[in-house]
Amino acid sequence: MIMQGKKGVVLGIANNKSIAYGIAKACKEQGATMAFTYLNDSLKKRVEPIAKEFGSQDFVYPCDVSNPDEIKALKVSLERDLGQIDFIVHSIAFAPKDGLTGRFYDIPKSSFNIAMDISVYSLIEVVRELKPLMSSNASILTLTYYGGAKYIPNYNLMGVAKAALEMTTKYLAEDLGKDGIRVNAISAGPIKTLAAAGIGEFRFMLKWNEAHAPLKKNVTTSEVGNSGMYLLSDLSLAVTGEIHYVDCGYNIMGMPATIFDENGKQKIAWNGDN
């Protein structure tokens, strides 16, 4: 199996609908051993059954990335229980509600700082703290979205945070490349996750992507999971600094493709009512 003998940590998994769950599942199916983190007691109740499902019930740790002491404690726990690790999955993002609604220029500075700290700087801080545990040829993976490259309605502050995360991925890739460590990001298409619940008109977004992506469907967590497993495994030893789109091709579209009805008459690709 591709990930046999590999050990890693997954930060930010929320439930079995999470993209991080799809990645963890694909890694487990290929033989990986994983540790999991949770933000608080409420999420702990969701993470523990997942860890048990993957045989990792003894490797579940608290980690609020806004608290540097918890990141340091995570390092101690991982070193004690797993020793050397081969991969990190960073699936953490947050923006206050007032950063996702209303006029963009009205976003409070405090909300901007929170979003950048949790969604971007946490990757740097986690990597810096866990780097001494990482093996040669280790791999780091974070999760982004097309809203970090192009304007997406209702994404607002999260789009700016994802743009910063994508550049952080590239700068970390260069910085850690000399140590043999790879850093990549997956830009997944929209998926019904707990995080997506905070995005306005998300159902419309799903319909729009399905109608206009070249594959005419939305991506699934298992499809993203397989791509994530590839980037965490030795199959991608020469891949780093990449923003890998797993969105059924939506990112290549400049405008909707023309569609004709059964009589050959041109019509718009989707009118939003279907």
Q: State how far the Cα of 137 lies from the Cα of 117, in Å rounded to an integer.
A: 28
Per-residue pLDDT band at 61 (split at 50, 70, 90): very high
- What is the pTM (predicted TM-score) of this model? 0.92
Percent of the chain with pLDDT over 70: 92
Q: How many CB atoms lie within 10 A of CB 223?
A: 19
Structural domain boundaries in the chain: 7-267
Q: Catalytic residue at 145?
A: yes
Annotated catalytic residue 38: no
**Hey, what are 255's tokens?**
């405008």
Return phi, psi of residue 231, to 5°.
-70, -20
Which member of 145, 146, 230, 250 is catalytic? 145
Q: Which of 93-102, 174-183, 253-262 shows the lowest mean pLDDT across its residues?
A: 253-262
pLDDT given at position 201: 77
186-196 pLDDT, tens digit each: 999 998 876 66
What is the Cα–Cα distance from 203 to 3, expressed in whole angstroms? 35
Q: Which of 2.40.50.100, 3.40.50.720, 2.40.50.140, 3.20.20.70 is the CATH number of 7-267?
A: 3.40.50.720
| Averaged pLDDT, 139-155 | 95
CA 233 to chain centroid: 16
User: What pLDDT does residue 269 have?
Assistant: 57
Buried b (16+ CB within 10 A) or exposed e, 146-183: bbbbeebebbbbbbbbbbbbbebbbebbeebeeeebbb
Q: Which residue has the tokens 């004690």?
A: 80
Min mean pLDDT across 61-70, 104-113, 265-274 is at 265-274
The mean pLDDT value of the chain amounts to 93
Q: What is the largest CA-CA distance in the chain?
A: 68
| Residue 225 contacts residue 25 (beta carbons within 8 Å) | yes
Which residue in the list 61, 146, 155, 250 is annotated as catalytic?
155
Report DSSP state, residue 142: E
Q: How far is Cα 86 from Cα 133, in angstroms, rounded to an integer? A: 8
**Rounded to an integer, what distance in angstroms lies between the CA atom of residue 68 and that of residue 198?**
26
